[in-house]
Every structure is written in C-alpha cells, then in structure tokens.
Structure 1
C-alpha cells in the first residue's frame, strides 16, 4: 500500500467517483468531492457515502491528493483557476485522469510546488459499483516526473491496476488508440445490431455476442492474422451485395461500412492474403459507394 493521502476529487463523474471509491477502499480517506450535476450528486451518494460535496476550491485546499476528473477540454481552465485562487499548495499531489493530456496542462499546479501526475485508466466506466471490480487488472497510462513515479505506481497498485508509462509527447496518440478501439467499437457494434434488427433477427445482441467475443480475442492475440470474412477471401460479389442491401435498409451505415472495408482491404493486401486482381475488383465496388476518389497506394500497387 502506498502512503495514505487525504483525497479530494473535483468532477464526481463516472471516472472520478469510481476512482475515489477505489482509493477509499484501499484505505485513503476521501475528504471532499465537487460535482454540480444531479447525476454527479447521485454517484457521490452511492459510491462515496458520507463524503461532503463542496466547492472545487474548498476541495483542493483540503486534499493532499487532488484528483481532477473533469472533461479534457475543461481541464486547462480548472487547473488555472485553482492555482490562481491559491487553492493549490506546495507538496500537494495533483493528478488528472485525462488520456490526452500529460503534465504540461498541470504547469500552473507545478509552478506553486505541487507534485503533478497524469493518471489515465484505460477503461470505460458506468459510474456504478460494477466499475470497482473492473479496476482490478485495469491498465493505467501514467506520465510523471522521476520524483513522482513511485507515488503514481503506488496509487495504481492500491486501485488493483497495472502500469504502462506514456511519454509526455505521446499522450494524444496513446489516447487516440484507446478511443479508436473502444469508442468506435461501440458505434460499430450498435450499427451491426441495427442491421441484424432490420433483417428480422429477434436477438441481435445475443446473436453477435459469441462472434464478437471470438473475434476480439483472436484480434488481440493475433492481430491481422485473425481477419476473416468476404474481403480477405476476395468475395467481390458478397461485398457488393452487402452494400446494395445496406443502402436500401440502413443507408446511414453505408459510410462506416465503406470506410472500414477500405481499411480492411488495405490490411489484407499488405499481409499478402488477397490476390491483386481481387483487391482491385473490391476497390472498384467500394469506390462506387464512398468518396475515396483515389485507390489506396497499397491497393493500387497490388
């Protein structure tokens, strides 16, 4: 267990309330929280019972470890306002949970002597007690100076997580990888369920679950080698038929299907699994539906 900090959290949203509850379960006293919305207040009542809700500046003044769990675009202003108001102090640990931002956004806190950490959980949160179990084994993307590394690692250990260190200049790319994989997966799966529903399948989620579980496991274990389906097989007529029926029944899904089909085609060509003549034929089908006017260099040279 790391040193026990008096914890304050500004932004009692899905992430903040859960992380504060996790630290509290590890023995860190949570002394105050700030959250303005009704949803934040409900989360605080459920996950942090007995913790008073206060103004952000009051939370900051009372905390030895201040968690800033506000949206990315709000974070720079929140840090500046807290620093300018004198709510931050030397020796205090100030950690944010943004995936995109590193330590630069915490410069106003560092300027008054605070010890700054970027601590991002690579997890999607519901803002309920279900998330507490998900913290165990969760990877945290950390960025910290040499003197704060041990503190950051200790906090992750207390939450039951695992550490990956992310260089300051790579924070945005790190976050893009997570968002592209997780956020766009939700969109993709929702659209797939919509297609199955339109096809008359009575349980789209139950139909997809075994397939998606297997595909995800295989992709994580084997990367592109796990790819199956009509594009890697070179089934030109199947891809064309897909697009014809999607256009007729779920036209809003055409752009994402075409975009992902282009990306899949590129990768199938790169690893040599698709014959050049088939790749060109599929590219011709996709070009009729998408706004990609020029063939991918990979496909064009196949």
Structure 2
C-alpha cells in the first residue's frame, strides 16, 4: 500500500526539485558567505503515471549541487555516487585509511582526495559520514576552524543523532539535515542500486523538510520522518533487526557446517527468506518452531548439543528462546500448560527469572 508523505517540489520531468537547481555545473567556487542555496522551482512536465523518476537522463540536466564527503567509509562514497547519478556533482572527498582511499577512487573516480576543511571549501552539500562517536567532535572542530560557511547544507548519516548534534553548524549559518539510510553497506557499487526503495530516517528543521526529502528521493530512497527525540530508539530498532540478524545467521551457518552441511548458505537462504517475509507480513503470528510449540524436550536437546559443540552459541540461543517464549505466550501461540516445562528448561540452563 502506498504511503502518504509530503511531496517535495519538483523540477523538470517531474523529478524532485533540487535544493540548488540554479547552481551552474561550471562553477567550482564556493558560494559567497551568507548566500544560501536557492530553492526556486523549475517548469515541470509529468512523467508517465506510476513511474518513479530516479537517475534517468542525468546527463541532460545541469549539475545542481557540488557534493563533498568527509569520511570515505562504506556509506559516504555510495551516497555521493548516487547523488551524482541524480545530476549533482561530487567535487571532493576526505579519507584517512588506505581502504577509504581505494573505496573513494572506485566509486568517485577523478574526485580529488583532500583534507576535510578543503572538502567544505569546495562543496555546497557536505556529507559527514563518520562513526557516531566521532561526529560531535568533528562538527565542533569544523565550526571552530571556520570551515563551515552560511548557507551550506551539512548532512550527517548517523542513525543515533538527529539535528541537535549539528547545532554548532546551525549557529554558524549552515543548513542541518540528518539523513540515515536504513541499509547495510558494503562500500561497493552494488550499494548504489540497493538504495532504490531504501527507507531513510529523516530529521531536519521544518523549513528544510522538503529539501531533505527531495535529496532522499533523488537517491532513490523513501523518506521516513523521525522526531529528534526518537532517533536513539529508531536506531536501536534497526540495530536489533539488522546487526543481530547477521550474528544469528553467521552462527547458524557455523553450526550447519559442524553438522556436515556442505552449503549452509543454500540451505538457509529459502528458509530465512520465507521467515523474514512472514515476519514482516504477520509479526508474532509468524512464530514457528519448538519454542512457540512448547517442545521442552527438543529445546533441552538443542541446548545440550550446543554446550557440546558450540558453547559460545548457548547464551544467544537461550536469550532468543526466552524472548520467543515470552512473545509466543503473550500472543496465545504457546499454551500455558506447556510453557511451564519450557521455561523451566530455559531457567535451569542459565537464565533465571519468570517470563
């Protein structure tokens, strides 16, 4: 079902309007201090109904924003490459490690590697794609050195933070945006395609909301508005669902190899794909397996085998089994008369307390 969301201003061919549609592709010089990017509209013509404009005919349109990247990790170069396909122009990137430099060279060929201050000097739109714990110090340092100029779009991609972390940049006259792609990145060209339909957690001042959403849409994403105070909870949810999933899948593959399965990825692929699809469609109603059925004997056998062959996996199994039992019991999937024996097994195995 299509979601209702604010529609950003559009430029020609029905594309989301750039926050700097009047910027000349030939201009490499920064905008004069105190001059914000223009937000003028362009004449429009409609795309075919039902189509999603993205990355098409970019060569026929002038570059609208010069883009810089501070922190050439797995995310920054990918987003800059995606913006380039939408008609913007990457002009500078900073990176410290050799891996970062190789990544920038692969995704942004011919874009010079420079110091962070020089990135800001060259770019209208600056992507701060550094680790969460590094971001506040980076923003403060850029402001203290006068690198940030009025009217400059400063975008960070942290899931944890909203716009409050950019408050020093805002006081310096910058336009702050928090655009977090809800996607796991490899730092390769495949990520650019994965952005199609990817949700972005968007936090921005109300007057910049349409600009933020326009940038997300130009990268092929779907903007999802996240309140400033909800950012940590939002990020915790994504970490729980994505980061921990990788750990669970990796452990499952190790156990299957130990059990003699030659291609654990091939075995798990259809199973996990179906489980994910069912969970997204039905939530807790999709729970299956021995815990939700109350098969205490099977669960006890699992724990005994894990203690013997993979003791490092026992704690994770017990924690997830307890969480699954709680949810199955609360939603009427686990019969109360079977829950007692099951919870007894889990409690005796190392996790005390009642469900």
Measured against the shorter chain, the TM-score band is: over 0.9
Higher fraction of helix: 1
- Unaligned 5+ segments in structure 1 are 297-302
Aligned counterpart, 1:101? 161
Q: Give 1:202 deviation, angstroms.
A: 1.0
Equivalences for residues 262-277 of structure 1 within 5 A? 262-277=322-337
Normalising by structure 2, report the TM-score.
0.82
Aligned counterparts of 1:40 and 1:265: Cα–Cα separation in 2: 44
Aligned counterpart, 1:141? 201
Aligned counterpart, 1:197? 257
- Residue deviations 1:131-152, cap 9 Å, x none? 0100110100000011111110
- SS at 1:240 equivalent: helix
Q: Give 1:241 deviation, angstroms.
A: 0.6
Aligned counterparts of 2:332 and 2:302: Cα–Cα separation in 1: 24
Answering whether residue 284 of structure 2 is matched by residue 209 of structure 1, we say no
Answering whether residue 116 of structure 2 is matched by residue 53 of structure 1, we say no
Q: Give 1:255 deviation, angstroms.
A: 0.1
Aligned counterpart, 2:103? 43
Answering whether residue 133 of structure 2 is matched by residue 73 of structure 1, we say yes
Answering whether residue 90 of structure 2 is matched by residue 24 of structure 1, we say no
- SS at 2:72 equivalent: coil
Aligned counterparts of 2:255 and 2:352: Cα–Cα separation in 1: 27
- SS at 1:14 equivalent: coil
Q: Give 1:160 deviation, angstroms.
A: 0.7
Aligned counterparts of 1:61 and 1:45: Cα–Cα separation in 2: 20
- Residue deviations 1:42-85, cap 9 Å, x none? 01111000000100011112211111000000000000000000
Q: Give 1:277 deviation, angstroms.
A: 2.1
* Corresponding residue to 1:220 among 265, 280, 288: 280
* Corresponding residue to 2:354 among 277, 295, 300: 295
Answering whether residue 323 of structure 2 is matched by residue 258 of structure 1, we say no
Aligned counterparts of 1:248 and 1:62: Cα–Cα separation in 2: 59
Query: Number of residues paired by the alignment?
Result: 295
Equivalences for residues 216-255 of structure 1 within 5 A? 216-255=276-315
Q: Give 1:293 deviation, angstroms.
A: 2.3
Q: Give 1:288 deviation, angstroms.
A: 1.6
Q: Give 1:191 deviation, angstroms.
A: 0.6
Aligned counterparts of 1:28 and 1:85: Cα–Cα separation in 2: 27
* Corresponding residue to 1:123 among 183, 191, 197: 183
Q: Give 1:273 deviation, angstroms.
A: 1.5
Q: Give 1:102 deviation, angstroms.
A: 0.5
Aligned counterpart, 2:247? 187
Aligned counterparts of 2:214 and 2:335: Cα–Cα separation in 1: 52
Aligned counterpart, 2:13? none
- Residue deviations 1:17-53, cap 9 Å, x none? 1000000111111110000110110011110000001
Aligned counterparts of 2:99 and 2:131: Cα–Cα separation in 1: 15
Runs of 4 or more above 2 Å deviation: none
- Residue deviations 1:138-182, cap 9 Å, x none? 100000011111110110111011010000000000000001000
Q: Give 1:279 deviation, angstroms.
A: 0.7
